[in-house]
Amino acid sequence: MGILLKPIVTEKMTAQGEKLNRYGFIVDRKANKLQIKAAVEQMYGVSVADVNTMNYHGKRKQRYTKAGLLRGRMNHFKKAYVTLAGEDKIDFYANI
């Protein structure tokens, strides 16, 4: 569970899962494509055909309060889109 941090469960990723057999994950920033592929195959028992990764830079945020202007930054993160081979499926809601 060190490489895969959490799945991306949005309307867009649900549609891609049904149509293109593609699923999204937030992963460790230091993980490479081979490590991500091995982690998905081990955790969900599926065969992975392709892995695409993207690094996201944390956005700057600010808000106004009584104490004045507070500034900060969101964390950097990495996304991985995993395309499964054949008729394999991942059901994120099976453990609920």
User: The domain that contains 73 carries what CATH number?
Assistant: 3.30.70.330
Asked whether residue 43 is assigned to any structural domain, the reply reads: yes
Instruction: Assess if residue 93 is contained within a domain.
Output: no
88/41 Cα distance (integer angstroms): 11
pLDDT band per the 50, 70, 90 thresholds, residue 4:
very high
> Is 89 a domain residue?
no
State CA 74 to chain mean position distance. Answer: 16
- Does an H or E element contain 25, and which? strand 22-27
Domain count, the chain: 1
Give the pLDDT score at 94. 77
Residue 55 lies in a domain: yes
Q: What is the pLDDT of residue 1?
A: 56
Q: What is the pTM of this model?
A: 0.87
Domain range for 39 is 4-84
